[in-house]
Structure 1
Amino acid sequence: MAFWKELLSNTSTDAETQFDRLKNRLFGRLEAHKPYRIIYYRGFGSPSAVWLKGRVLRQRNLSTPSDRDTFWQNLLATYQRFESDEVPGVTVRIEAFGQTITTVTDKEGYFDVTINPPTDLPVGRAWFPVRYSLDNVVQTENELNENRPIGVEATVDQIVVKDGHLMIAPPYSHFGVISDIDDTVLVTDATNLIQTARLTFLGNAYTRLPFAGIAAFYRALQSGPVTTLFNPIYFVSSSPWNLYDLLVDFFRIQGIPKGPILLRDFSFSTKLLASEGHHSHKLAMIRKVLDVNPKLPFVLIGDSGQQDPEIYSQVVRENPGRILAIYIRDVSKDQRDESVRELIRTTEAYNVPMLLVADTVAAAEHAASLGLIDPDTVPEIRADRRADNEL
């Protein structure tokens, strides 16, 4: 079985490489008329190191979603997200903290760098600006402005620039939060492939639904027991980077606190849907978050539908004393619940409570009992749950 899995994986990887070469050969001239786009993903780090990632594509701007979008508009937007024309080998200039560094995109158009911030960061600040630009790449204003009337030419060339932000947990943060997204924050039904595809491909940031009360609960966790605090929240998912803009819009619309969103590359590899790929990706991202915040304890939030309990219990074993609590939303059948309860007994041996909860309020009440959130926020979370359930 291992031989066939490896053969299929290698074959699919070769097919993807050949497809990219063929696409670049056949459509290179057409793609030359598409504007360059720098897609940046929110960076994060510590006072000693910051991780930045992004991508360069030839892509038109996606239309702004609305709650009135039709089936076909949503389907077109999904097609545009996944039909990305990556730009390999282009130099990206990054400016942050008064420093300037350059890096080169890989064959999929991604860039990935680590920078060292200055030692005198403002104590009360969590978000910092960063600017991305493309070296030796200019395009006309006509290329950048897709709404310019046909026949109206522009003669001004512009450098391709994108402004973004990165997050560094302030020294007064009491703890951090690492949260799954699918079936934890966002209703996805990840155990049902057809339903997941329908929600992902035919919905948008307005039509997708949050779990009831989740926005108020995450705001309470970010504020902690004292509302002047800022506890960083990191979102980790095995969803592809192609869905990044949808998730950013969804969090903004629902009032969920802003934080880095860590996804993974989409490819034809058999590992994309395999459980080991899901496990290894999420574990690697969680380890990265823990590594850049070596003195910060964490709360972990996930669901029972896939492997969050297994991944989180491994994190507990690898990081004794650093995990304060684990909340697992119960979205699975009874036979799965029993295996989760076994993992709960495992984490108890490390004095880490792992709760299998039916809803957000149950998690919030326990968090309040541990002093993780202000008890006065629990009524707001209950009200938020009721309001979400009425949608």
Structure 2
Amino acid sequence: MINKILLEILYRFKLTFSKIKLKFGIKTGFVKSLMIAPYKGFGSREKVYLIGRVLKDRGIGLSEISDSRWKNFSKMYKRFMSWEIPNVKVKATINGDSWIAETDDEGYFEFFINPKQPLQNTTPWVSLELELIDQIVPNQGKVNTKARVIIPTKDVEYGIISDIDDTIVPTGATRIWEMLKTTFLGNAHRRIPFPGVAAFYQALEKGTDGKENNPLFYVSSSPWNLYDFLTEMMSVHGIPLGPLMLRDLGLSREQLIAGSHFDHKLSQVEKIFELVPDIPFILIGDSGQYDPEIYLQVIKDYPGRVKMIYIRHVSEKRKETVLHVKNKMKSLGVDMLLIEDTLKAAEDALSKGWIREDDIQDIINEKIQDGLNNS
């Protein structure tokens, strides 16, 4: 009871401080331009989910491979020292119809859109218009942007859900100092994926017909502050883009810092399963932070929806536990492959008829090139 009261006091103090800071920033002209930061959404032709944030325009821009550690740190500082705009209305428009959402205390807005007519998309990506309705700063002008949501087409074969840290890129997520150094002093060009990952994910996106219709989703315990950093990293290295489901690490009424890694990732994976119904999924993760246990729970909650699980072996300490989870999955009719090499997962996917043989050579070539670049 005392802890709950203390948490409420701390949270109210945080809100008061944020309001005073924002009011001061607007009055002094430090906050003079705003931005809508949409995060890629997803759903079906009948329901669309989109989340985003209204912030002071940080002017971060794209990185260069030659950027110094100080410049990288400066940009990362801006990402985390954000100015959130609470309690303002954002309008989303698609096919001439509009919906309104209001930002919360942290500047986040969330849309669950039920189009009046089912979307008739022939390609996976659909665009929405977003516009800030409220006037917040002097001479604000129009604040608007486009958002993209991925809607599986009739040609979809399966979806892919992947972790990021130590699954796509080595980050040392189980070694805090190594992870902090990589995050704050590096940039999108210097975050190098595991060899062959980009070509493998491209092959999964193309499936067997080569049409790039299979949607990819990324679920991570990284904070939303890193969203643009992660999407830039994927774009730079040729990893197919898709919705990123991250989390807010700040103080809230319910928690001092962040909820558990397990609960966050499980809830986000299951949100994808709920909003993207009727298609099976390949799940990809690593052995370091409970991905196998999370995916086991997904198998139990959504029987028949998981095609395969690929787990990158990064933790010798957890190997016995992971193999035990693998046996439980097997008893439920789902295979899990523990790999140290992306090519092994690709060869397995090829043997099951999920990717094209032509794409295997691309994965081999990329793996060789990545190995040369990292040597």
TM-score (norm 1): 0.89
The residue type equivalent to 2:323 in the other structure is: R
Q: Distance in 1 between matches of 2:256 and 2:148?
A: 29
Which of 285, 306, 314 is the matching residue for 1:331?
314
Q: Distance in 2 between matches of 1:254 and 1:40?
A: 22
The residue type equivalent to 1:367 in the other structure is: A
Q: Distance in 1 between matches of 2:72 and 2:6?
A: 32
The residue type equivalent to 2:76 in the other structure is: T
The question of 1:184 aligning with 2:182 is answered no
Cα root mean square deviation, aligned: 2.1
Q: Deviations over 1:211-239 (max 9, x none)?
A: 11100000000110121351111001111
Which of 347, 354, 357 is the matching residue for 2:329?
347
CA contact (8 A) 2:250 2:257 kept: no
Residue in 2 that maps onto 1:62: 60
**CA distance change for structure 1 residues 246 and 390 in 2, over 3 Å: closer, same or farther?**
same
Q: Distance in 2 between matches of 1:266 and 1:347?
A: 31
CA shift for structure 1 position 277? 1.1
Q: Distance in 1 between matches of 2:147 and 2:245?
A: 16
The residue type equivalent to 2:125 in the other structure is: W
What are structure 2's unaligned runs of at least 5 residues? none
CA contact (8 A) 1:13 1:268 kept: no
The question of 1:357 aligning with 2:339 is answered yes
Q: Distance in 1 between matches of 2:191 and 2:129?
A: 31
Q: Distance in 1 between matches of 2:309 and 2:12?
A: 40
CA contact (8 A) 2:282 2:308 kept: yes
Q: Distance in 1 between matches of 2:211 and 2:130?
A: 32
Residue in 2 that maps onto 1:80: 78
Which of 154, 171, 192 is the matching residue for 1:209?
192
Residue in 2 that maps onto 1:21: 16
Residue in 1 that maps onto 2:207: 224
* Equivalent runs, 1:151-170 vs 2, <5 Å: 158-170=141-153
CA contact (8 A) 1:271 1:277 kept: no
Look up the SS of the partner of 1:186 in the other structure.
coil
**CA distance change for structure 1 residues 205 and 271 in 2, over 3 Å: closer, same or farther?**
farther
Look up the SS of the partner of 1:159 in the other structure.
coil
Residue in 2 that maps onto 1:117: 115
Residue in 2 that maps onto 1:369: 351
Which of 363, 366, 372 is the matching residue for 1:381?
363
Q: Deviations over 1:76-102 (max 9, x none)?
A: 111100111111111111111221111
Look up the SS of the partner of 1:197 in the other structure.
helix
**Equivalences, count:** 369
The residue type equivalent to 2:94 in the other structure is: A
- Quote the sequence identity (%): 38
Q: Distance in 2 between matches of 1:273 and 1:365?
A: 41
Residue in 1 that maps onto 2:299: 316
The residue type equivalent to 2:64 in the other structure is: S
Residue in 2 that maps onto 1:45: 43
Q: Deviations over 1:132-189 (max 9, x none)?
A: 1111327677xxxxxxxxxxxxxxx621111121110112201100100111112211
Q: Distance in 1 between matches of 2:348 and 2:5?
A: 47
Q: Deviations over 1:323-360 (max 9, x none)?
A: 11000000112x31010000010111122110110110
**CA distance change for structure 1 residues 23 and 293 in 2, over 3 Å: closer, same or farther?**
closer
Q: Distance in 2 between matches of 1:272 and 1:366?
A: 43
The residue type equivalent to 1:345 in the other structure is: N
Per mean C-alpha deviation after superposition, the further-off stretch among 95-104 and 106-115 is: 95-104
CA contact (8 A) 2:251 2:257 kept: no
Q: Distance in 2 between matches of 1:313 and 1:31?
A: 49
